Amino acid sequence: MRKVKGFTLVEVVVTMVVAAILVSLAIPAFTTVIKNNRLATATNALVGAIGLARSEAIRRNARVTLCKSSDGASCTTAGNWSDGWIVFIDRNSNAAVDTGEDVLRVSEPVNTDIDAVGNSNVDDYISFVSTGQPQLTSGGFQAGTIKICDDRAGDFGRNLVLNLTGRLRLEKEVSCP
């Protein structure tokens, strides 16, 4: 007599039911992982752009500005930092990309679920002078906070805090609306 190897229909159905239950339990946790990674990616991209602006200002001995931009060609005061940004050498210190000013980096918009909003001093632009210090176009010191949140309510947000020497500090688990 020959022995047949394989699975019965009952065994296959039970295995599929167990797998479906495990997958339904894992999906919410995986969604949280994805959202956390998107938030970290957006935060790191903005930190990198701010760091680039500061280091290029020191290296080039010139004012370098980072401004919000939704089209990748000009600065805007509308929207928020998640719409994209431009890093450029700001020769006339007006926080706007003008003819003849070198653009160092352009960033596309980050994930649509992310909002990055600055307080009044860093709402539209961050500008570094040759000493690496942030400075408003009016000449005053520039310091402030950019709050980065996704579509979840609760303590999932992050704050990028820029101090008057140009150093950034990251605050995690910030409350978002």
Structural domain that includes position 82:
10-176
Q: What is the pLDDT of residue 1?
A: 66
CATH code of 134's domain: 3.55.40.10
Q: Does residue 1 lie in a domain region?
A: no
Q: Does residue 2 lie in a domain region?
A: no
Q: Does residue 159 lie in a domain region?
A: yes
The b-or-e profile of 3-41 (16+ CB within 10 A means b, else e) is eeeeeeeeeeeeeeeeeeeeeeeeeeeeeeeebeebbee
The answer to whether residues 142 and 127 touch, using CB atoms and an 8 Å cutoff, is yes
The number of distinct structural domains making up the chain is 1
Write out pLDDT tens, residues 31-47: 888 999 999 999 999 99
Write out pLDDT tens, residues 120-168: 899 999 999 999 999 999 999 999 999 999 988 788 899 999 999 999 9
Q: Does residue 110 lie in a domain region?
A: yes
Q: What angle do CA 72, 78, 82 make, to 5 degrees?
A: 60
Q: Does residue 143 lie in a domain region?
A: yes
The set of residues, in sequence order, having a beta carbon less than 8 Å from that of 135 and lying 6+ positions away, is 63, 127, 128, 129, 141, 142
pTM equals: 0.84
From the CA atom positions of the chain, what is the Rg in Å? Answer: 24
Q: Does residue 3 lie in a domain region?
A: no
Q: Does residue 4 lie in a domain region?
A: no
